[in-house]
């Protein structure tokens, strides 16, 4: 069974984007390739309990076990050595990605305190979008009692759109609540 957001994308978003972007071929319509959820440990790199809580949180949010990211270079000012674990991330694709985005749009954004829409400035120039959350409590899977320490997380939505205009059109048609200009 296909996720609800995928059905919406195929039935409504693709024809609308084809006319809005004046595309001649349906295969040129931008789509979402993957969603990456990333959490850096910050100064808690040696705190095993914190790392386990972050792992548990990401597993609950995404439904997938996260991988540990290692430092590529040593940075003495941050006390980071090459090969040291500095964060965890999860990459979602396919059905899990569409289910996650559906929950993000319909459940998570309304739960964010003082939410007025997401910023248009977070596009990277190639149609990809980045969202930062200051605390993980906005996600419905995380209850306030179970969260000992709050931590931030970053969401990267990777699209096949070649520019920010096409990326904005795709995400706004799907239902992302952008701030009014």
Q: Give pLDDT tens digits along the chain (181 positions).
A: 788 999 999 999 999 999 999 999 999 999 999 999 998 887 777 778 888 888 888 888 888 999 998 888 888 877 778 877 888 999 999 999 999 999 989 888 887 777 888 888 889 889 899 998 877 777 777 766 555 677 788 999 999 998 999 999 999 999 899 887 6
* Residue 83 half-sphere exposure toward CB, CA atoms < 13 A: 0
> What is the fold, at CATH topology level, of the domain defined by 4-174?
50s Ribosomal Protein L5; Chain: A, (3.30.1440)
Q: What is the rounded CA–CA span in Å between residue 29 and residue 15?
A: 9
Q: What is the rounded CA–CA span in Å between residue 41 and residue 86?
A: 6
Q: H or E element: which one contains 51?
A: helix 48-62
pLDDT at 57: 86
Tell me the domain boundaries of the chain.
Answer: 4-174
Question: Is residue 61 within 8 Å of residue 141, measured between CB atoms?
Answer: yes
pLDDT at 166: 92
pLDDT at 181: 64
For 79, the token pair is: 């006390």
Report yes or no on whether pTM surpasses 0.75: yes
CA geometry: angle at 48 spanning 46 and 53, to 5°?
125
Strands 32-40 and 67-70: unpaired
Measured CA to CA in angstroms, residue 170 lies from 89, 127, 135, 144 at distances of 24, 9, 27, 33
Nearest to 61 by CA among 41, 31, 37, 27: 37
For 137, the token pair is: 């409590």
Angle of the 48-62 helix axis to the 94-103 helix axis, nearest 10: 90
pLDDT at 147: 59
Question: Is residue 34 within 8 Å of residue 91, measured between CB atoms?
Answer: yes
């Amino acid at each position: 069974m296909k996720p609800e957001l995928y059905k919406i994308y195929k039935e409504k978003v693709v024809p609308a984007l084809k006319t809005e972007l004046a595309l001649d071929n349906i295969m040129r319509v931008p789509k979402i390739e993957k969603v990456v959820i990333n959490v850096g440990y910050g100064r808690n790199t040696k705190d095993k309990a914190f790392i386990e809580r972050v792992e548990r949180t990401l597993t609950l949010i995404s439904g997938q076990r996260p991988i540990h990211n290692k430092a590529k270079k040593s940075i003495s000012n941050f006390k980071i050595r090459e090969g040291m674990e500095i964060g965890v991330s999860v990459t979602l694709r396919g059905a899990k990605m569409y289910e996650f985005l559906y929950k993000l749009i319909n459940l998570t954004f309304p739960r964010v305190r003082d939410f007025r829409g997401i910023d248009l400035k977070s596009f990277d120039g190639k149609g990809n979008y980045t969202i930062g959350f200051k605390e993980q409590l906005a996600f419905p899977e995380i209850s306030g009692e179970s969260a000992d320490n709050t931590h931030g997380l970053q969401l990267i939505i990777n699209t096949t759109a070649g520019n920010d205009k096409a990326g904005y059109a795709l995400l706004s048609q799907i239902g992302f609540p952008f701030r009014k200009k």
